[in-house]
Structures are given as structure tokens and as C-alpha cells.
């Protein structure tokens, strides 16, 4: 009996020492340098493989003990992505981070008024964004999204997006496209009566024109009002940004009179009604303005050179404004709209 008790006592002491040793191994900081350790967990990887990789880098000393601890805690499931381990991280912290999916996240901003091509270039230039063959052009991207519209133009919502390392360009583009669809559908439900167009797609086209004409929130609904009244009266919209868009890469930055007479599907000095597609990425405020234009009588507007516009009811008044603001330009004239503070 004494021998049995002595053996049991020895076993318990040994087990206790082993448990203390295991605990000490788990709480001891990993071999992470001052700046931290950044590493990638690929999709389809598992905890055992990650621990072996970290062992090969000299970070984890006892991967089997760490794996045993993860099984005990029922935290063997991990998430793919890029991780940053700060100095002082221990094995228990590592298991917790992998199980929660505390991956590094990046921010990417698409700006109102950009074209779809500019937005796609920005997405593909994002840090750790995976470039796909489908994302090589707006045409191939539209095909990958199974877009029903004739062009990707306008169908990407300008906003800031958060993503993980390894996200593809098409995944980000799909997120921005779905956001635009939701915003447009939401604003369409709150539209004014008696608009001179019948579909959300046409509203998006008009919103893109408003977005390109002004960056001043206080002017959006007034410019929308001018465009809506002109559409109702059968007047040409005569807005320069559509002409520039129609010229494409041929535009050298100098809009000439000959350009205004050049026949393109987007030249609203030549065609009546809206152009065939949007010309830029409109934000929610521009969409809302297109669907809720300001009432009034103005039919013309001209840039004053300070980021704002002069609105006119008659052609004579408009011509006087053109002479004042365009033909006698101030020294600090700005053709592009400014933003309100």
C-alpha cells in the first residue's frame, strides 16, 4: 500500500511539474522582434501547418504543445489573411488571434466623379489586392459581374472600403457595385413626382452629370433642377463634362468650340436627352439631387471661377454671365468645382 501511495504521489508531482512547464511554455513570449512579425495564412491552411511554418522561422519553439493547447480550448479553427504579431505575443495569444481572425485590414477609397476606369485602377493598386484576369479592364470586369447595364460606368459606389489581404479586385468591385445598387434603389423609392425619366438607370446617368458639374453640396439640387427643366422642354443639356467624356483619350485638357460641334453619343450639345451611360461615379447626394431637383425657373448656369455657378432664367441673362465670368476670367479662376468646408 505504501508503495502504491508513493507511486501515485510521484505521478501527481511529475504531472504537476509537466503542467507548470506547459503553462510556462504557453505564456512565455514568442521570438518576435521589436517591430513585430507579419505573416500570411493562405486560404485552406490549418493550424498545424501555420505552427510548423512559424517554427521554421524560429518564432514557435514547441508547435505540438501549442496545438495541444488549441485542441484543449477547442480553438483549432483559423482564418486566412495577413497577421501582425506584436513583440510580447505568447502562444496563447497566437492561438486566440488565429481563431478570431484578427487579420490586418486595409482601407481603399473611391472618389466621387472618378470614371470606372480610374476606380478599377485604384482597386488593383490597393495594397495586397490580388489582381485577376477578369479585372484587367472595365469590359472584362463588367462581364465578371454579369452586369446588365451597357457599361460599368457609374455602377461603382464611391466610398471607403475595408478589406483583408488576399482580397481580389473583382471581390472589391462587386462590393462597390452592390453598394451602388442598394443606394440607387433606396433613393429611387424617395423620388419626386413628374420626373422626365422612368428608370433608376436614367437617374444614375443624370446624377453623374450633376456630380461632374459641381462639388458644392448647396448647388447639386439646383443644377439638377436646370437639367430636369431642360429635359422636360426638349432642350439640349449642353454640359461640357459629357463632351469631354465622349472625346475620351483624345481630350488634351483644352475644350474647344470644334469639340462642341463634334458628333459623339455623349455630346449633349448635339444630342437631345441624356447620354447613353453615366459619365462618372456619382455619390449618394448627387443621386438624391437627380431624383429631387430644386424647383425654380433657371435654365442656364455658368461657372463663376470660385467653385460656384451663376444661374440664369433667360438666355440674355446667361450670355451676360458668360461674358462676366468666362470671357473676363479672374486671375484665380478655377474651372473645376471646389468643395465646401
How high is the pLDDT of residue 340? 37
For every residue of 192-247, which 3-state class applies, written as one string? CCCCCCCCHHHHHHHHHHHHHHCCCHHHHHHHHHHHHHHHHHCCCCCCHHHHHHHH
pLDDT tens digits for range 215-241: 788 899 999 999 999 999 999 999 999
Q: What is the pLDDT of residue 132?
A: 95
Q: Is 109 strand, coil or helix?
A: strand
* Whole-angstrom distance, CA of residue 196 vs CA of residue 43: 50
pLDDT at 204: 98
Written as nine digits, the cell of 1 is 500500500
d(CA 158, CA 154): 9
pLDDT (0 to 100) of residue 249? 82
What is the sign of the dihedral through the CA atoms of 296, 301, 307 and 308? negative
Q: What is the pLDDT of residue 325?
A: 84
Give me the average pLDDT of each 10-residue run along the chain (341 residues): 41 39 76 88 91 93 91 91 90 93 92 96 94 95 93 96 92 97 97 94 97 89 96 94 88 81 91 95 97 94 87 92 76 46 29
Whole-structure pTM value: 0.80
- What pLDDT is attached to residue 12? 34
Q: Is 260 exposed, middle or buried (0-12, 13-18, 19+ CB in 10 A)?
A: middle
pLDDT of 117-146, one tens digit each? Answer: 999 999 999 998 999 999 999 999 999 999
> How confident is the model at residue 306, as a pLDDT?
80
Alpha-helix runs per DSSP H in 249-314: 257-261, 284-291
Amino acid at each position: 500500500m505504501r508503495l502504491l501511495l508513493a507511486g501515485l504521489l510521484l505521478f501527481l508531482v511529475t504531472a504537476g511539474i509537466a503542467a507548470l512547464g506547459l503553462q510556462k511554455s504557453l505564456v512565455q513570449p514568442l521570438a518576435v522582434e521589436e517591430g513585430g512579425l507579419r505573416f500570411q495564412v493562405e486560404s485552406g491552411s490549418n493550424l498545424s501547418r501555420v505552427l510548423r511554418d512559424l517554427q521554421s522561422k524560429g518564432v514557435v519553439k514547441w508547435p505540438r504543445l501549442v496545438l495541444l493547447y488549441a485542441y484543449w480550448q477547442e480553438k483549432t479553427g483559423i482564418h486566412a489573411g495577413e497577421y501582425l504579431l506584436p513583440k510580447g505575443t505568447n502562444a496563447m495569444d497566437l492561438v486566440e488571434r488565429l481563431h478570431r481572425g484578427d487579420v490586418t485590414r486595409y482601407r481603399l477609397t473611391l472618389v466621387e466623379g472618378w470614371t470606372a476606369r480610374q476606380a478599377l485602377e485604384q482597386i488593383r493598386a490597393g495594397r495586397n489586392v490580388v489582381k485577376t484576369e477578369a479585372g484587367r479592364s472595365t469590359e472584362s470586369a463588367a462581364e465578371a459581374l454579369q452586369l446588365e447595364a451597357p457599361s460599368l460606368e457609374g455602377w461603382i459606389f464611391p466610398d471607403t472600403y475595408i478589406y483583408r489581404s488576399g482580397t481580389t479586385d473583382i471581390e472589391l468591385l462587386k462590393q462597390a457595385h452592390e453598394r451602388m445598387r442598394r443606394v440607387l434603389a433606396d433613393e429611387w423609392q424617395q423620388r419626386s413626382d413628374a420626373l422626365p425619366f422612368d428608370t433608376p438607370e436614367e437617374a444614375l446617368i443624370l446624377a453623374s452629370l450633376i456630380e461632374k458639374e459641381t462639388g458644392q453640396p448647396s448647388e447639386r439640387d439646383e443644377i439638377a433642377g436646370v437639367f430636369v427643366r431642360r429635359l422636360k422642354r426638349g432642350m439640349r443639356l449642353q454640359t461640357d463634362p459629357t463632351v469631354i467624356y465622349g472625346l475620351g483619350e483624345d481630350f488634351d485638357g483644352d475644350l474647344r468650340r470644334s469639340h462642341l460641334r463634334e458628333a459623339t453619343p455623349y455630346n449633349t450639345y448635339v444630342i437631345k436627352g441624356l447620354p447613353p451611360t453615366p459619365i462618372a461615379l456619382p455619390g449618394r447626394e448627387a443621386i438624391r439631387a437627380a431624383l429631387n431637383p430644386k424647383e425654380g425657373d433657371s435654365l442656364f448656369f455658368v461657372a463663376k471661377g470660385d467653385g460656384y455657378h451663376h444661374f440664369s432664367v433667360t438666355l440674355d441673362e446667361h450670355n451676360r454671365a458668360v461674358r462676366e465670368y468666362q470671357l473676363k476670367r479672374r486671375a484665380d479662376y478655377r474651372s473645376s468645382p471646389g468643395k465646401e468646408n
